[in-house]
Amino acid sequence: MTAPLLAVEDLVVDFPTRGWRRPPFRALKGVSLDVRPGETVGLVGESGSGKTTLGRAVLGLAPVTAGRIVFDGRDITRAGRAERRALASDIQVVFQDPYTSLNPSMRITEILAEPLSVRGVSTRDAERRVRQLLDQVRLPSDAGDRLPREFSGGQRQRIAIARALALSPRLVVCDEPVSALDLSTQSHVLDLLVDIQESTGVAYLFVSHDLSVVRHISHRVAVLYHGEIVETGDGAEVTATPSHPYTQRLLLASPVPDPAAQERRRAERHQLLRS
Ligand SMILES: Nc1ncnc2c1ncn2[C@@H]1O[C@H](COP(=O)(O)OP(=O)(O)OP(=O)(O)O)[C@@H](O)[C@H]1O
């Protein structure tokens, strides 16, 4: 079997709480998960289950109390600043809100070229790469001269994806990347992520509260509940025959596009409410 690109092992994250002698709040209670090269692992769970904390820990943005994060065989749990900077070419992130994640005063070309110039890429090569990136996320080449406010939410999210791809990372943490978008824009962005994965081999750790979104994109799914993984498995399997009651509840709460399945779920929900 292929070695994992990312291995999260028994990860514990505690946050300090206010108040005298109150114990810290344990947001992750020993979470293990891996992502193989070119794979999408969906991390699903309701608000407060710890999804974002796990993504942030992988990015070095959450305090790790115990456990390990291993990337490509290297322990990065407590990587210092310089090591994190070097890791930025391997691990990138796309955040939820396309309205706040792009610098409003920078033109798209500058936004996309910034990570390249920081790494010493020449202006000419950076320009060529920016054209490639715009093409990859299906934006016209003249998009580069414009400012973020001139784009819709879906287009801005494409720009954020292009920026994440600029350094050809091997893993992108996608933190609720479509939840601020309307349904049809969501599916375009998800299809784009799939196409990009097919052409580049990038892996995604895909965080979402929405099981229908995760089902659309993931090879494997992990279900997080109160800081613990309660179910993992093949994406289609977990969503078709969830074994944990919490996953079943999540499934009932998520929209299913197939009308027959929708009818079935409606009946199930009805029965559940009556029982
Ligand atoms: N910096 C922090 N300080 C204290 N508590 C935090 C901090 N960050 C997260 N938490 C707590 O940790 C728990 C998990 O939060 P997290 O944001 O990871 O959940 P989530 O599943 O991503 O939910 P959401 O989708 O609402 O962001 C929550 O109870 C949250 O209040």
Encode the chain (275 residues) as per-residue pLDDT tens digits: 688 999 999 999 999 988 777 889 999 999 999 999 999 999 999 889 999 999 999 999 999 999 999 999 999 999 988 999 889 899 999 998 877 888 999 999 999 999 999 888 999 999 999 999 999 999 988 999 999 999 999 999 999 999 999 999 999 999 998 988 888 899 899 999 999 999 999 999 999 988 888 888 999 999 999 999 999 988 778 877 777 887 888 777 765 454 455 455 456 545 544 44
CB of 45 shorter than 6 A to ligand 1: yes
218 is a domain residue: yes
CB of 255 shorter than 6 A to ligand 1: no
State the complex-level ipTM. Answer: 0.96
147 is a domain residue: no
| Count of structural domains within the chain | 1
Separation CA 263–CA 248 (nearest Å):
16
17 is a domain residue: yes
Of 172, 150, 173, give the one whose Cα is nearest residue 102.
150
**What pLDDT was estimated at residue 215?**
84
CB of 115 shorter than 6 A to ligand 1: no
The model's pTM: 0.89
The domain in which residue 32 lies consists of 1-90+173-178+203-275
CB of 27 shorter than 6 A to ligand 1: yes
CA distances from 207 to 70, 83, 90, 114, 121 (A): 19, 24, 18, 26, 31
CB of 25 shorter than 6 A to ligand 1: yes
Mutation probe of ligand 1 site: the residue of 14, 49, 179, 250 with most atoms within 8 A of C-beta? 49
Query: Ligand 1 center to residue 178 CA distance, Å?
Result: 19
207 is a domain residue: yes
Q: Residue 272 belongs to a domain with what CATH number?
A: 3.40.50.300
136 is a domain residue: no
**What pLDDT was estimated at residue 269?**
47
107 is a domain residue: no
132 is a domain residue: no
**Closest ligand 1 atom number to CA of residue 13:** 12
10 is a domain residue: yes
CB of 227 shorter than 6 A to ligand 1: no
Tokens 């990859």 correspond to 136
**What pLDDT was estimated at residue 262?**
46
- Burial zone of 134 (CB within 10 Å; 0-12 exposed, 13-18 middle, 19+ buried): buried
CA distances from 210 to 77, 84, 156, 254 (A): 28, 30, 21, 6
**What pLDDT was estimated at residue 268?**
55
